[in-house]
Amino acid sequence: DADVTQTPRNRITKTGKRIMLECSQTKGHDRMYWYRQDPGLGLRLIYYSFDVKDINKGEISDGYSVSRQAQAKFSLSLESAIPNQTALYFCATSDFDERSKSYEQYFGPGTRLTVT
């Protein structure tokens, strides 16, 4: 079973609709992230959470909100979807690795969202 799962994997929605993307992890990591990927722009950070009580905006948080329901769950919501939010969305987790003395991020498989 995958360590980081995302649901749904694909979604088509209409402008103005509210939509939630969900992320779950079994790695036991405290830190979780949401990114969006656009062609030619790489991945950009939307929100991140360092623990259940901690939520932080990333570089492109406008139009998005998040909820950290538990250590293992981090949801991304689009309150009123618009076409330029069409993108591939990735969830990631990280934690301190004692062996390498560094943080490494582990990515989910992505959710392809299309807003028409």
Partner 1 sequence: GNSVTQMEGPVTLSEEAFLTINCTYTATGYPSLFWYVQYPGEGLQLLLKATKADDKGSNKGFEATYRKETTSFHLEKGSVQVSDSAVYFCALRNAGGTSYGKLTFGQGTILTVHP
Q: Name the one range near partner 1 by CB under 8 A: 17-25, 31-39, 60-68, 73-81.
A: 31-39
Q: Please identify, using beta-carbon distances, which residue of 16 and 28 lies nearer to partner 1.
A: 28
Q: Please identify, using beta-carbon distances, which residue of 23 and 78 lies nearer to partner 1.
A: 23
Asked if residue 18 binds partner 1 (CB under 8 A), the reply is no
With contact defined as beta carbons under 8 Å apart, do 64 and 74 qualify? no
Q: Is 83 helix (H, G, I), strand (E, B) or coil?
A: helix
For the segment 36-65, give every residue that binds partner 1 (CB under 8 A).
37, 40-45, 48, 50, 58
With contact defined as beta carbons under 8 Å apart, do 108 and 23 qualify? yes
Asked if residue 67 binds partner 1 (CB under 8 A), the reply is no
Asked if residue 27 binds partner 1 (CB under 8 A), the reply is no
Give yes or no for a cis peptide into 83 (omega within 30° of 0): no
Q: How many Å separate Cα 3 from the centre of its chain? A: 14
Phi, psi of 38 (to 5 degrees): -125, 145
- Binding residues (CB under 8 A) for partner 1: these are 4, 31, 33, 37, 40-45, 48, 50, 58, 90, 92, 94, 100, 102-110
